[in-house]
Amino acid sequence: MGPRWKGKGAEVKALADPISEIVRQFQSSLISSNSRGMLSGTNVFLKADAELTDLLNRACFGRPRVTSEKNEQWFQLSMEEAFYLQYSLKCITVVDYNDTELNNNELWKYMTSRKDKFPILVKAFSHLRSKNWVVRSGSQYGVDFVAYRHHPALVHSEYAVLVLSAQDGSANGRLRVWSDFHCTLRLCGSVAKTLLILDIEQQQSCAASPSCVDDYIVEERTITRWSPEQGREKK
């Protein structure tokens, strides 16, 4: 199943404006503006001027949030997005409610304490983002992420992504029984997405610091229904 572009000209538009270049611009803009993200619960909030708002929208990070303040746009980042921007792209600094900066280790400690699956989710997120996939929450489809070839305005998401790990029992709550497989594949089929399983092999059982995530190995598998006709001899 290839990408499903939204309307005529979408593919040409996407090719002329690669995500890698948009993210590069977005990254430099954040660095030059010394951007700080405010940690709040399991989200990080980022204030954006007009230029940054445009870049956040184009790079597809965060969700714009309406506030009572005029002339100010806030974006709500997920933990995976915020961590990727601080740790991998090194373009924001996350601060807590005291306005104290959190270094990578502190941020890691906080986020892993809030979400058991965080190490493998952030690995999967970073893995796809570094390959210039646009990655969004997949909760609508009962998966961890959906992945787009370009901006969601131009193309439908191509992959429904489930992140699994053999080592981490608690994270591995999906696809243990056939009925779950059938349910997931049927749903993916009906929304024209391919099920992508990212199997994360953790080298160490504990994930004490973010650096150990760099050693995780990602195995990519797509899963589709097998149709008996495909196995038949051609006439």
Residue 166 contacts its own copies per CB under 8 A: no
Task: Report the distance separating Cα 130 and Cα 40, nearest Å.
Answer: 26
Nearest to 84 by CA among 23, 140, 32, 138: 23
Q: C-beta of 96: minimal distance to its own copies in Å?
A: 27
Residue 142 contacts its own copies per CB under 8 A: yes
Question: Quick check: 102 and 110 in contact, CB under 8 A?
Answer: yes
Helix axes 19-32, 50-59, angle to 10 degrees: 150
Which ranges of 97-225 would DSSP assign to H, the alpha helix? 104-114, 118-130, 178-190
Residues 94-133 close enough to bind its own copies by CB under 8 A = none
Q: Choose which of 101, 180, 214, 220 interacts with its own copies (CB under 8 A).
A: 180
Residue 140 contacts its own copies per CB under 8 A: yes
Closer to its own copies at the Cβ: 164 or 207? Answer: 164
Residues in contact with 163: Cβ distance below 8 Å, sequence separation at least 6, in sequence order: 117, 120, 121, 123, 124, 144, 145, 171, 198, 200
Pairing type for strands 63-65 and 73-78 reads: antiparallel
Active-site hit among 148, 150, 151, 159: 148
Closer to its own copies at the Cβ: 31 or 191? Answer: 191
Two tokens, residue 62: 């965060």
Closer to its own copies at the Cβ: 62 or 138? Answer: 138
Closer to its own copies at the Cβ: 10 or 185? Answer: 185
Residues in contact with 12: Cβ distance below 8 Å, sequence separation at least 6, in sequence order: none
* Known catalytic membership, residue 13: no
Site track for its own copies across 188-207, x = CB under 8 A: --xx----------------
* Known catalytic membership, residue 156: yes
Residue 179 contacts its own copies per CB under 8 A: yes
Span of 59-67, 72-80, 171-179, 203-211 interacting with its own copies by CB under 8 A = 171-179
Q: C-beta of 139: minimal distance to its own copies in Å?
A: 6
Nearest to 210 by CA among 120, 94, 100: 120
Closer to its own copies at the Cβ: 178 or 226? Answer: 178
Two tokens, residue 81: 């997005």
* Known catalytic membership, residue 148: yes
Kindly tell me the sign of the dihedral angle through the C-alpha atoms of 8, 13, 18, 24.
negative
Residue 181 contacts its own copies per CB under 8 A: yes
Residue numbers at the binding site for its own copies (CB under 8 A): 138-144, 162, 173-174, 176-187, 190-191
Q: Would you name the residues annotated as active-site residues?
A: 148, 156, 193
